[in-house]
Amino acid sequence: MLTRANGEPYRILLANDDGINAPGLEVLEAIAADLSDDVWVVAPEREQSGAGRSISLSHPLRMRELGPRRFAVEGTPADSVLMGVRHIMPDVPDLILSGVNRGQNIADDVTYSGTIAAAMEGTALGIRSMALSQTYGIAGRNVPWDTGRSLGAQIVKDLVQTRPEPGVLLNVNFPDCDAGDVKGVQFTRQGQRDQNLLMLDQRTDARGRDYFWIGFKRQQSNPPEGTDIHAVYNGFVSVTPLHANLTQLDLLAQLQNGQT
């Protein structure tokens, strides 16, 4: 169990982008139950995959209380974290866990991800936050939820001992294999997706009008070692520190020094 200096259990907030009824949220609740008995769930009413860090400005937020310390919010993942921290919970949580996402959140995908966004919102509020995602599809089978369920609590416990600088979240991706086949944990940098794998699937509806699905081809690229993609492709849990500050410091220094 995770405890504060005074011996009280951690207060943990759970969120996601797959929605309040997602199987990955059940996995996250099981992970959190091994960490504390003071766990709160505030998740979107329905799936918000790809929502990024959007917040609802043009319509009101509505919520439903589904049970003790369990709420559904008619909004985005970032909305859910804001509602949990600023309105629902009696005190600020010690830890925010987002996920477990159905599918990896690695490389360029992190800027699309509502799972990452919920954790990023937590860090913006000054709260230690982690995003957890379960890779699948590489081995051509169903989502191996038991991998994250089996390994997640210990990984979170270990990561809580780290002291990242303010505004940094930890992005955890479990590989597409059974828990017993995981080779270990690698601390990685954000990789870069092969954009040729991004596809538009064009179809025609019953009235003869075209419509499109955006998706990714399920084939592996050849990423460099040390990246999140390389780690999960090779059977490792990937842990990547991320932050919202997108400043490119090398170019900034050149511009400030008049070097164009």
Place of tokens 């400030």: 256
Position 146: which residue type? D
In the predicted structure, residue 45 carries a pLDDT above the cut 90: yes
- Residue corresponding to tokens 């699948």: 136
The domain spans of the chain are 11-192+223-256
Residue 220 has pLDDT above 80, yes or no: no
207 burial type by CB count under 10 A (0-12 exposed, 13-18 middle, 19+ buried) = exposed
Residue 197: band (very low, low, confident or very high) from pLDDT cuts 50, 70, 90:
low
Average pLDDT over residues 3-17: 95
* Most distant pair of Cα atoms in the chain: their distance: 66
* Of 35, 40, 39, 32, the residue nearest 2 (C-alpha): 35
Average pLDDT over every residue of 110-122:
94
Q: pLDDT-derived band of residue 48, with 50, 70 and 90 as boundaries?
A: confident
Report residue 56 as tokens: 């609802």
pLDDT at 30: 98
**pLDDT grade for 260, boundaries at 50, 70 and 90:** low
Q: Hey, what CATH topology would domain 11-192+223-256 get?
A: Stationary-phase Survival Protein Sure Homolog; Chain: A, (3.40.1210)
CB burial string 243-259: b at 16+ within 10 A, e below: eeeeeeeeeeeeeeeee
- Write down the pLDDT at residue 116: 96
> What mean pLDDT is predicted for residues 32-50?
93
Cβ atoms < 10 Å from Cβ of 56? 14
DSSP 8-state symbol, 88? I
Q: Tell me: pLDDT of 206 over 90.
A: yes
Least confident stretch, 93-102, 116-125, 130-139: 130-139
Mapped onto helix, strand or coil, the DSSP state of residue 140 is coil
So what's the pLDDT on residue 56?
83
pLDDT tens profile 149-166: 999 999 999 999 998 888
Q: What is the average per-residue pLDDT within 131-150?
A: 91
The pLDDT of residue 53: 81
- pLDDT over threshold 70, residue 196: no
pLDDT tops 60 at residue 83: yes
Which residues touch 44 (CB under 8 Å, ≥6 apart)? Answer: 16, 17, 19, 20, 72, 73, 74, 75, 76, 77, 79, 80, 114
Using a pLDDT cut of 70, give the percent of the chain over it: 95
Q: How large a percentage of the chain has pLDDT more than 90?
A: 75
| Average confidence (pLDDT) over 62-67 | 96
**pLDDT band at residue 217 under the 50/70/90 scheme:** low
